[in-house]
Amino acid sequence: MELNHSNLTDEQKSKINKFISDLQEKCSKHNIDTLIPNTSGVEYLYGNTLTNGYFDSDNRLLACATGKELNQWLPILIHESSHMDQFLENDPVFIDSLGLDETFKWTEGSEDVDFNKIDREIESGIAVEVDCEKRTVAKIKEYGLEFVVSIDEYIQKSNAYVLFYRWMRKNRSWYKIGFEPYNIKSVYTKMPKTFDVDYSTLSEEISEFFDKLLVLSNES
């Protein structure tokens, strides 16, 4: 993977390359395929949802779209690699996760869905994502990648992503590529800078920030 960023120092490039090299070595060791195209998004294996990246344990596939700014795609790659770690470690929070297949069927318009399963998917999804985000923060610190994204900012972006699950359940809408809650500054900067958050509820104030995000995406 080439890093064509002239504004990076040699030391910064070295830190990024160290992370990527270690990741490629781990993927090779554990027979994990990678899909890392220079595009704005990658299609999720199930359904027609376009995503920025994902890890699929059934197909042993780590995917991340890199056709965007470094501070957008690299944190996603680190995040998805943390899901891979959950899988490789047989972490119960990952093993018990139900995925979002039924939820995405619903957000894509299907009326033939099991709402009890959707609720279970969202609860398990929040649990696995919070654990993943904590792992990702640890990796950013380990590899000295705070120059890509600060820890405070990353935690805010994490909370924007996790709390969006609650908003999605209420509004039956997933975000569009380019309008991710964790990439819209007017949204993620309003989020807590700690993981000490009650993820079981969504405050009216935060819900309104997500409402504005939906308006922005519909106007595009």
At 212 the pLDDT is 85
The two tokens of residue 189 are 């900067």
Q: Evaluate the CA torsion angle 40, 158, 77, 169 in order and state its sign.
A: negative
At 180 the pLDDT is 87
Q: Judge whether residue 191 has pLDDT over 70.
A: yes
pTM metric for this prediction: 0.87
Q: Using 50, 70 and 90 to split pLDDT, how confident is the model at 26?
A: very high
Mean pLDDT, residues 165-171 taken together? 94
Mean pLDDT, residues 191-197 taken together? 96
Q: Judge whether residue 42 has pLDDT over 80.
A: yes
Q: How far apart are the C-alpha atoms of 85 and 44, rounded to whole Å? A: 20
Q: Using 50, 70 and 90 to split pLDDT, how confident is the model at 176?
A: confident
Q: Judge whether residue 4 has pLDDT over 70.
A: no
C-alpha angle 127/44/168, rounded to 5°? 50
At 143 the pLDDT is 98
Q: Which residues contact 31 (CB under 8 A, 6 or more apart)?
A: 60
Q: Judge whether residue 11 has pLDDT over 90.
A: yes
Q: Using 50, 70 and 90 to split pLDDT, how confident is the model at 7?
A: confident
Q: Position of tokens 């929070």?
A: 93
The two tokens of residue 45 are 């294996």
pLDDT tens for 83-130 read 999 999 999 999 999 988 899 999 999 999 999 999 999 999 999 999
Q: Judge whether residue 62 has pLDDT over 60.
A: yes
- Residue 175 CA neighbour count, 13 Å, CB half: 25
At 5 the pLDDT is 62
Q: Say how far residue 153 (Cα) sits from the centre of its chain.
A: 14
The mean pLDDT value of the chain amounts to 92
Q: Say how far residue 158 (Cα) sits from the centre of its chain.
A: 8
Which residues sit opposite 62 in a β-bridge? 34, 55
Q: How far apart are the C-alpha atoms of 217 and 220, rounded to whole Å? A: 5
Q: How far apart are the C-alpha atoms of 154 and 113, rounded to whole Å? A: 34
Q: Judge whether residue 182 has pLDDT over 80.
A: yes
How long, in residues, is the chain?
220
Q: Judge whether residue 24 has pLDDT over 70.
A: yes
pLDDT tens for 201-216 read 999 999 999 988 877 7
At 178 the pLDDT is 82
